[in-house]
Amino acid sequence: MKKNLPLWGAGVFAGALLAVPAEAAVSSEAAYVFNSFSFLVCGALVMFMAAGFAMLESGLVRARNTAAICLKNIALYSIAGLMFYLIGYDLMYTGVDGGLIGSLELLYNPSGLELALINAGDKGQEAALAALMKAETGYSSMSDWFFQMVFVATAASIVSGALAERIKVWPFLVFVVVLTGVIYPVIGAWTWGSGWLAEMGFSDFAGSTIVHSTGGWAALTGALILGARKGKYGPDGRINPLPGANIPLATLGTFVLWLGWFGFNGGSQLALGSALDAAAMSIVFVNTNLAAAAGVVAAMALTQILYKKIDLTLTLNGAIGGLVAITAGPDLQNHLMAVIVGGIGGVLVVFAVPLLDKLRIDDVVGAISAHLVAGIWGTLAVGIFGSGDFAVQLIGVVAVGAFVTVVSAVVWFAIRAVMGLRIDEEGERLGLDQVELGIEAYAEFGKGSQSIA
């Protein structure tokens, strides 16, 4: 049982089930190819979001912590893929059946029927194909695995941004192991894996809660336990901006995330093997784009009004807020709704960022605002504009928040006790790059006063 069936049921693989004339319909083998290729192409786009996060975060940290954030980002993507292979996928998708977790089997591999087809000689292929067509879900097992895998890394990317500039590399990566191997798969099991939340009717098309809020709660918990960067908050309530070192890279990162999000939301249609699926996926692409655009325009206009100047960083986060907000329900059939949902996502980010600062919760790149706050909004919006039940949506938001917060806190405290979490003061002053990696991100660019502060 995969992600799609309990949540959007009817529309999926409809092509194969329809009794239209054979010469007009998509054949079952062609549907299998369409579905699999859609997973691969959309999955590759989502994979590229790892680069987007790396660039966004590289641009928004100070120069002295840039190499460390680069390392964390490529490492977390790698760990996420290995952990999902080792344990995550089965924990999330195999035999959850209304419960809390799936199987504890290790090392996911291709389905036997597929290997039989691939290994069949010329003579055996016909029978092997027939068996595959009859028994399988309509797509290649590893194309689905690939698509699900790339989502795991996104949750971890959110954490790296929020906790940048002070968390040590290895403790962060140990947290990533647990987040991607256990925490995210358990949340996934409850929902896309057909667990208890799915049975209640919780609806989260591509993961406003399941991916983005999960990462956001883990980041929030970490930010509270880790504390703020030195110098971020003055003793008199003063908030120091500590501006990022490379704004065009942050802009590039945002564009890459936007591009990847077409795969993120579009691929979550989970099928392309029928006209219905193609039409539905197209609607998803359009809503994704409109919501992001609305987030940008809303954040621009609002910061102009509030601060008399457009705030570029908040505008970039407005795009992300719009994207996160639409992620729970990008299948809205009236596109104006997507504009509204995304625009509100952008507005929420503009208010959430200073609010967190007022609470002295130090989120370096605004990830908690863009992913958690907009993620909650998007999930609830499915209960307002979409087909979801508001109460069930709220239960899902709260349940995920409670579980991720509690388990994350336990893990953060355990790591802190065993190996420490935070770079020491001298290290923070010098920067993680020098202390942890022994490298400079920009070895030749003269440093202004900022980096000596």
Residues from 178 through 197 that contact its own copies (CB under 8 A): none
SS3 state at 54? helix
Select 71 or 380, whichever has its Cβ closest to its own copies.
Answer: 71
Q: What is the DSSP string of 272-316?
A: -SSHHHHHHHHHHHHHHHHHHHHHHHHHHHHHHHHHSS--HHHHH
For residues 142 and 148, what is the distance between their CA atoms, to the nearest angstrom? 10
Q: Position 375: which residue type?
A: G
For residues 381 and 326, what is the distance between their CA atoms, to the nearest angstrom? 9
With contact defined as beta carbons under 8 Å apart, do 91 and 186 qualify? yes
Residues with Cβ within 8 Å of residue 361, at least 6 apart in sequence: 220, 223, 224, 228, 368
* Position 394 contacts its own copies (CB under 8 A): no
Copy the structure tokens of residue 265: 């939301």
Q: Which stretch binds its own copies (CB under 8 A): 119-127, 204-212, 408-416, 420-428?
A: 119-127
Select 182 or 278, whichever has its Cβ closest to its own copies.
Answer: 278
Q: Which residues pair with 233 in a beta bridge?
A: 239
Select 100 or 124, whichever has its Cβ closest to its own copies.
Answer: 124
With contact defined as beta carbons under 8 Å apart, do 190 and 198 qualify? yes
Q: Which stretch binds its own copies (CB under 8 A): 127-135, 200-208, 221-229, 392-400?
A: 127-135
- Among 132, 163, 189, 356, which residue sits at the site for its own copies (rule: CB under 8 A)? 132
- Among 98, 125, 403, 430, which residue sits at the site for its own copies (rule: CB under 8 A)? 125
According to DSSP, residue 139 is labeled S
Q: Which stretch binds its own copies (CB under 8 A): 212-220, 223-231, 282-290, 378-386?
A: 282-290
Select 59 or 383, whichever has its Cβ closest to its own copies.
Answer: 59
State the nearest-atom distance from the C-beta of 28 to its own copies, in Å: 5
Residues with Cβ within 8 Å of residue 446, at least 6 apart in sequence: none
For residues 450 and 178, what is the distance between their CA atoms, to the nearest angstrom? 35
Q: Which of residues 313-342 bind its own copies (CB under 8 A)?
A: 313, 315-316, 319, 333-336, 339
Q: Which stretch binds its own copies (CB under 8 A): 180-188, 214-222, 223-231, 311-319?
A: 311-319
- Among 93, 101, 102, 108, which residue sits at the site for its own copies (rule: CB under 8 A)? 108
* Position 55 contacts its own copies (CB under 8 A): yes
345: closest CA among 410, 405, 408, 290?
Answer: 290
Q: In the stretch 225-264, what mask flags binding to its own copies with x, by CB under 8 A?
A: ------------------xxxxxxx-xx-xxx-xx--xx-
Q: Supply angle C-alpha 58, 60, 65, rounded to 5.
A: 55
User: Hey, what's the torsion of the CAs at 214, 217, 222, 225, to 10 degrees?
Assistant: -150
State the nearest-atom distance from the C-beta of 43 to its own copies, in Å: 7
Q: Which stretch binds its own copies (CB under 8 A): 112-120, 186-194, 209-217, 348-356?
A: 112-120
* Position 17 contacts its own copies (CB under 8 A): yes
Q: Which of residues 18-47 bind its own copies (CB under 8 A)?
A: 18-20, 22-30, 32-34, 36-41, 43-45, 47
Select 292 or 368, whichever has its Cβ closest to its own copies.
Answer: 292
* Position 110 contacts its own copies (CB under 8 A): yes
Q: Which stretch binds its own copies (CB under 8 A): 97-105, 277-285, 351-359, 375-383?
A: 277-285
* Position 272 contacts its own copies (CB under 8 A): yes
State the nearest-atom distance from the C-beta of 190 to its own copies, in Å: 25
114: closest CA among 139, 90, 94, 97?
Answer: 139
- Among 1, 5, 409, 437, which residue sits at the site for its own copies (rule: CB under 8 A)? 437
- Among 97, 100, 105, 109, which residue sits at the site for its own copies (rule: CB under 8 A)? 109
185: closest CA among 214, 219, 147?
Answer: 214
Other Cβ atoms within 10 Å of 71 Cβ, number: 20
Select 51 or 224, whichever has its Cβ closest to its own copies.
Answer: 51
